[in-house]
Chains A and B, each alone.
Chain A
Amino acid sequence: MSDTKKPQGAELSEDVVRRVAHLSRLALDDASIERHRGQLVSILGYIDRLRELDTENVDPMAHPLDVVNRLDADEPRACLSNEALMKMAPQAAAPFVRVPKVLGGGEGA
Chain B
Amino acid sequence: MAEIKSVELKVGLEVHVELATRTKMFTRAPSPAHPDYDDSPPNTLIDPLVLGLPGALPVMNREAVEMSMLVGLALGCEIAEFTKWDRKSYYYPDLPKNYQISQYDLPLCYDGSVYIPLPPTPEEDDEHERHKRIGIIRAHLEEDSGKLLHELPGGHAIDYSVVDFNRAGTPLLEIVTQPDFVNADEVVAFAQFLRNICRFLGVSEGVMQKGHMRFEPNINTIITLDDGHIVKTPIVEIKNLNSFRSLRGAIEYEFKEQPERWKKDGKEMGPGAKSTRGWDDVKLVTLMQREKEDAHDYRYFPDPDLIPVQVSREWKEKVRERLPELPHVRARRYIHDYALHAKEAAALTDEHDVCLFYEETVEAIVQAIPGVLSDRAGRLAANMILQQGAKRANEQAVLVNELGITPGQIAEIVKLREEEKIGSSAADELFGLLCESGGSDGGSALRAESPPADKEDTAQRAVPPMTVEALAEQHNLLQVRDEGQLDAWIDEVLADPANAKTVEDVKGGKTAAIGRLVGGVMKRSGGAADAKAVRERLEEKLGG
Chain B 86-124 interface residues, beta-carbon cutoff 8 Å to A: 89-95, 100, 106
**A79 CB contacts on chain B under 8 angstroms:** 29-30, 44-47
Q: Is B22 an interface residue (CB 8 A)?
A: yes
Quick check: A97 and B61 within 8 Å, CB to CB? no
Quick check: B63 and A74 within 8 Å, CB to CB? yes
Quick check: B310 and A69 within 8 Å, CB to CB? yes
The verdict on A100 contacting B307 (CB below 8 Å), with A62-B302, A79-B44, A79-B45 known, is: no
- Shortest A53–chain B CB gap in Å is 19
Q: Is B152 an interface residue (CB 8 A)?
A: yes
**Contact-size category for A:** 35 or more
B140-154 contact mask (Cβ, 8 Å, vs A): 1 or 0 = 001111011110100
Quick check: A101 and B159 within 8 Å, CB to CB? yes
Q: Which of these, A70, A100, A109, contacts B161 with CB under 8 Å?
A: A100
**B65 CB contacts on chain A under 8 angstroms:** 71
Inter-chain contact total with CB atoms closer than 8 Å: 161
Closest to B95 in A: A109
**A104 CB contacts on chain B under 8 angstroms:** 278, 289-290
A83-101 contact mask (Cβ, 8 Å, vs B): 1 or 0 = 0010010000101111111
**A97 CB contacts on chain B under 8 angstroms:** 43, 162-163, 165
- Shortest B368–chain A CB gap in Å is 40
**B62 CB contacts on chain A under 8 angstroms:** 71-74
Quick check: A96 and B22 within 8 Å, CB to CB? no
Quick check: A109 and B143 within 8 Å, CB to CB? yes
Quick check: A75 and B100 within 8 Å, CB to CB? no
Chain B 39-57 interface residues, beta-carbon cutoff 8 Å to A: 41-48, 51
When chains A and B are docked, how far (Å) is the Cα of A24 from the Cα of B143?
Answer: 21
When chains A and B are docked, how far (Å) is the Cα of A30 from the Cα of B182?
Answer: 52
When chains A and B are docked, how far (Å) is the Cα of A105 from the Cα of B238?
Answer: 11
Quick check: B16 and A108 within 8 Å, CB to CB? yes
When chains A and B are docked, how far (Å) is the Cα of A23 from the Cα of B88?
Answer: 12
The verdict on A82 contacting B43 (CB below 8 Å), with A70-B60, A75-B28 known, is: yes
Quick check: A68 and B308 within 8 Å, CB to CB? yes
Quick check: A93 and B160 within 8 Å, CB to CB? yes
Quick check: B307 and A96 within 8 Å, CB to CB? no
Quick check: A109 and B307 within 8 Å, CB to CB? no
Closest to B106 in A: A62
Q: Which of these, B16, B29, B59, B92, contacts A106 with CB under 8 Å?
A: B92
Q: Is B84 an interface residue (CB 8 A)?
A: yes
Closest to A23 in B: B297
- Shortest A95–chain B CB gap in Å is 5
**B63 CB contacts on chain A under 8 angstroms:** 73-74
Chain A 39-92 interface residues, beta-carbon cutoff 8 Å to B: 62-65, 67-82, 85, 88
Return the 4 tightest CB-CB contacts between A and B, nearest first.
Answer: A96-B162, A74-B63, A71-B62, A62-B84
- Give me 13 A-to-B residue pairs in the complex whose CB atoms sit less than 8 angstroms apart, sorted by A's number: A23-B89, A23-B90, A62-B106, A63-B308, A64-B304, A74-B63, A80-B46, A81-B44, A85-B43, A96-B42, A96-B149, A98-B160, A101-B159
